[in-house]
Amino acid sequence: MLNTQALTSTDVALRAENLNVYYGSTLAVRNVDLHIPRNEIIAFIGPSGCGKSTVLRCFNRMNDLIASCRVEGKITFHGSDIYAKQVDAVELRRRIGMVFQKPNPFPKSIYENVAWGARINGYQGDMDELVETSLRKAAVWDEVKDKLKQSGLSLSGGQQQRLCIARTIAIQPDVILMDEPCSALDPISTIKIEETMQQLKQDYTIIVVTHNMQQASRVSDRTAFYNAEATDKGGKVGYLVEYDHTEVMFNNPREQFTRDYVSGRFG
Ligand SMILES: Nc1ncnc2c1ncn2[C@@H]1O[C@H](COP(=O)(O)OP(=O)(O)OP(=O)(O)O)[C@@H](O)[C@H]1O
Q: What is the pLDDT of residues 171-180, one digit of tens each?
A: 999 999 999 9
CA of 240 to the centre of ligand 1 (A): 15
Strand order across the 41-45 sheet: 80-81, 69-77, 12-23, 26-37, 236-245, 222-230, 41-45, 205-209, 175-179, 96-99
**pLDDT digits over 69-88, tens only?**
999 999 999 999 999 999 99
Whether 54 is in the pocket of ligand 1, judged by its Cβ within 6 Å, is yes
- Band of residue 267 on the pLDDT scale cut at 50, 70, 90: low
Whether 231 is in the pocket of ligand 1, judged by its Cβ within 6 Å, is no
Q: Where are the domains of the chain?
A: 12-262
CA of 211 to the centre of ligand 1 (A): 14
Please state, in angstroms and as integers, the Cα–Cα distance from residue 100 to each residue in 29, 178, 224, 230, following that order: 21, 6, 19, 29
- Band of residue 9 on the pLDDT scale cut at 50, 70, 90: low
User: Cβ(238)–Cβ(51) under 8 Å?
Assistant: yes
The amino acid that residue 63 corresponds to is N
pLDDT at 186: 87
**Closest residue (by CA) to atom 6 of ligand 1?**
23
Whether 23 is in the pocket of ligand 1, judged by its Cβ within 6 Å, is yes
Region 89-109: mean pLDDT is 94
Span of 24-28, 54-58, 121-125 with lowest mean pLDDT:
121-125
DSSP string, 90-101: HHHHHHEEEE-S
Burial grade of 202 (CB within 10 A; 0-12, 13-18, 19 or more): exposed
ipTM of this complex: 0.98
Which candidate, 104, 102, 170, places its Cα nearest to that of 137?
170
β-bridge pairing 41-45 and 222-230: parallel
The amino acid that residue 144 corresponds to is V
Which candidate, 139, 208, 132, places its Cα nearest to that of 170?
132
User: Cβ(190)–Cβ(218) under 8 Å?
Assistant: no
CA of 140 to the centre of ligand 1 (A): 32
Q: How far apart are CA 250 and CA 261, in angstroms?
A: 9
Mutate to test the pocket of ligand 1, among 22, 26, 45, 53 (most ligand atoms within 8 A of CB): 53
**pLDDT digits over 189-234, tens only?**
899 899 999 999 999 999 999 999 999 999 999 999 999 999 988 8
**Distance from chain centroid for Cα 170:** 16
pLDDT at 1: 47
The amino acid that residue 164 corresponds to is C
The CATH superfamily label for domain 12-262 reads P-loop containing nucleotide triphosphate hydrolases (3.40.50.300)
Q: What percent of the chain has pLDDT over 90?
A: 87
pLDDT at 264: 84
Region 108-113: mean pLDDT is 98
Whether 239 is in the pocket of ligand 1, judged by its Cβ within 6 Å, is no
Whether 28 is in the pocket of ligand 1, judged by its Cβ within 6 Å, is yes
**Closest residue (by CA) to atom 1 of ligand 1?**
66
CA of 54 to the centre of ligand 1 (A): 6
pTM of the model: 0.93
**Closest residue (by CA) to atom 24 of ligand 1?**
48
**pLDDT digits over 129-149, tens only?**
999 999 999 989 999 999 999
- Band of residue 121 on the pLDDT scale cut at 50, 70, 90: confident
Whether 50 is in the pocket of ligand 1, judged by its Cβ within 6 Å, is yes
